[in-house]
Amino acid sequence: MNTFEIKITVKKRAAVRALLVSALQNMGISPSDFVITDSQKELAVSLYRATRAECQALVKNISKAFSGQVLINILRHAKKDWSTQWKTGWKPFPLTRSIYVVPLWQERRNIPSGKRPIFLETTSAFGTGLHETTRFTSQLIEFQKGKFQSFFDIGTGSGLLCIVAALNGARKIEAVDIDKDAITVARNNVRANGVSGVRFSATDIKTYKQSTQFDLVAANLITHDLLRLKSKIISYVRPGGRLIISGISLANLKLIKKEFGFLKEIKLMKVTEGKEWSALLFEKKL
């Protein structure tokens, strides 16, 4: 399966960001549906769609609105790219204070003493740990060490977060992913790290029927899904338990804080912000 990215690039001028965002909003595209990359020279806005035809229809409208002032490209991201990217030039790297991620085919020799390795293969799933969203979620899981025994991973991808949770004390772990290939990768990764008893389901969290509650729940999803599924996600946290949400670009942080801030049953405990992404830790009130 491919993903198609519409990348709109503009040379930086004052106020261009606000103009672009409001023009896209006027076309019915919400800020939670795009990712903004703001470098010194230029500003890029990316929108993701499942087919090239969907992209072409949108590009037509965007081109009309900006009449040649912006550069628009449609980029195809093949699923296979994950395996190629992962295998070229990746070395063991620190994920949290105590954990190093090590590609499955590499030896353990590069890990500093006292660090624990997670051996990982991500042939088609998101979640190598190199991305800020995964790293921040892993660090927040480690921050909760000693406070949880059960863990629910919503959108598990490579299964990395299940392994991080197990290394930090989780005894009962469940994980779901809408992508059945990701579940296969996650199962293999969990097994390769000697973590047993994880219950995996290839399912959309929207229609997931289980009603068990967990001490700690992590959801690293796109902002749009975090917003539309927030009540469902929170329902899996036991009263007094914790929730980590991630996958939030800095451009969307204000919106997420506002929308989750309205909810009476949870309280914001911690915000992690990086260069482009952020993750939030909440407590569910008793």
- Residue 72 corresponds to which tokens in the numbers above? 């628009």
- Quick count: other Cβ atoms within 10 Å of Cβ 69? 12
Of 11 and 80, which has the nearer Cβ to ligand SAM?
Answer: 80
Least Å from the CB of residue 255 to ligand SAM: 18
55 interacts with ligand SAM by CB under 6 A: no
**124 near ligand SAM, judged by CB under 6 A:** no
Instruction: Tell me the CA distances in angstroms from 241 to 162, 266, 280, one per residue in order.
Output: 17, 10, 14
Residue 254 token pair: 């204000």
Of 252, 241, 258, 239, whose CA–CA distance to 279 is shortest?
Answer: 252
**Position 276 contacts ligand SAM (CB under 6 A):** no
Q: DSSP 3-state assignment of 54?
A: helix
194: its two tokens: 């000697």
3-state secondary structure (DSSP) of residue 107: coil
CB of 16 to ligand SAM, least distance (A): 28
Residue 119 amino acid letter:
F
Helices (H), the chain: 16-26, 52-66, 81-87, 132-143, 160-167, 180-192, 223-228, 230-235, 250-261
Comparing CB distances to ligand SAM, the nearer of 220 and 272 is 220
With contacts defined by CB under 6 A, name the span among 28-36, 39-47, 88-96, 217-225 that binds ligand SAM: 217-225
For residues 61 and 123, which CB has a smaller minimum distance to ligand SAM in the complex?
Answer: 123
Name the minimum Å distance from CB 85 to ligand SAM. 14
Is the CB of 118 or the CB of 221 nearer to ligand SAM? 221
Q: Is 178 in the site for ligand SAM (CB under 6 A)?
A: yes
Chain position whose Cβ is nearest to ligand SAM: 155
Q: Is 156 in the site for ligand SAM (CB under 6 A)?
A: yes
Token digits of residue 216:
């700690």
List interacting residues with ligand SAM (CB under 6 A): 125-127, 133-134, 137, 153, 155-157, 160-161, 176-179, 182, 204-206, 220-221, 225, 247
